[in-house]
């Protein structure tokens, strides 16, 4: 179930919680008023025997009304609690799970960095540095574009900041790697610097994976 669907479900649960709590309060108030009336009625027990039957009927009717109010306010309290608990869980779920666009950016970022690493490792032995440079440029441009993604605002503060740092790092890495030239791609020192930059971004990626309890192997399967 997507987070957008959960938004509507959360709104429905919140609305239901409010309605049930209002009904709970209404029947709770009714219970107290009925109890008060019953208490007053019991103190007015008729002395004449012929009036006691009518009085007993009124007491019985009032007690039945009181029991009905008790059942209803407990029923609506239970429903309000269930809906409120469900709403709380859904809100927690939204705060601790990635939206589809963030999942896509994370998977694609992983794929792009892995492929760029492979290309850079190949650069030392390739007889076509121009081809490698072109591939790295294209992949890096895509990486920079995913780095412009804004994290979902429904995430927790910590999750939002971790994801924002990753996106910023992806963007900066992509911009750096788009400047790769045929000459630099054949320079071992330059390659080492590029690899170091990739490792920094992967460190942010690792923090995100750990925070959202995502298995790295699942990213490989999604590609």
Q: Give tens-digit pLDDT for 141-192.
A: 999 998 778 999 899 999 999 999 999 999 999 999 999 988 888 888 999 9
Residue 126 has pLDDT above 80, yes or no: no
Residue 41 has pLDDT above 90, yes or no: no
Residue 223 has pLDDT above 70, yes or no: no
Q: What pLDDT was estimated at residue 45?
A: 77
Top-confidence residue, 7 or 222 = 7
pTM surpassing 0.85? no
Place of tokens 């610097």: 193
Residue 115 has pLDDT above 70, yes or no: yes
- Residue 3: band (very low, low, confident or very high) from pLDDT cuts 50, 70, 90: low
Residue 1 has pLDDT above 70, yes or no: no
What is the helix (H) or strand (E) element at residue 94, kind and residue range? helix 49-96
User: With contact defined as beta carbons under 8 Å apart, do 3 and 99 qualify?
Assistant: yes
Region of residue 98 (phi > 0: left; psi between -120 and 50: alpha; otherwise: beta): beta
What is the helix (H) or strand (E) element at residue 165, kind and residue range? helix 157-177
Which of 101, 177, 182 minimizes the C-alpha distance to 146? 101
Place of tokens 């009625």: 41
Which DSSP string do the residues of 21-47 spell out, in sequence order? Answer: HHHHHHHHHHHHHHHHHHHHHHHT--S
């Amino acid at each position: 179930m997507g987070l957008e669907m959960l938004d509507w479900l959360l709104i429905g649960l919140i609305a239901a919680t409010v309605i049930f709590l209002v009904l709970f309060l209404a029947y709770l108030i009714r219970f107290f008023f009925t109890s008060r009336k019953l208490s007053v009625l019991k103190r007015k027990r008729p002395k004449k025997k012929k009036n006691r039957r009518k009085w007993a009927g009124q007491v019985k009717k009032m007690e039945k009304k009181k029991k009905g109010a008790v059942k209803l306010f407990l029923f609506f309290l239970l429903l309000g609690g269930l809906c409120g608990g469900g709403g709380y869980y859904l809100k927690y779920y939204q705060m601790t799970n990635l939206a589809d666009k963030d999942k896509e950016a994370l998977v694609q970022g992983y794929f792009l960095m892995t492929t760029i690493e492979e290309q850079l490792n190949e650069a030392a032995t390739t007889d076509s540095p121009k081809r490698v440079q072109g591939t790295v440029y294209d992949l890096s441009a895509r990486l920079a574009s995913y780095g412009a993604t804004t994290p979902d605002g429904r995430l927790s503060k910590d999750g939002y900041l971790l994801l924002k740092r990753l996106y910023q790092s992806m963007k900066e890495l992509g911009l750096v790697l788009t400047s790769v030239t045929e000459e630099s791609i054949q320079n071992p020192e330059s390659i080492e610097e590029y690899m170091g930059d990739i490792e920094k971004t992967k460190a942010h990626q690792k923090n995100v994976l750990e925070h959202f309890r995502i298995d790295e192997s699942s990213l490989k399967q999604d590609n």
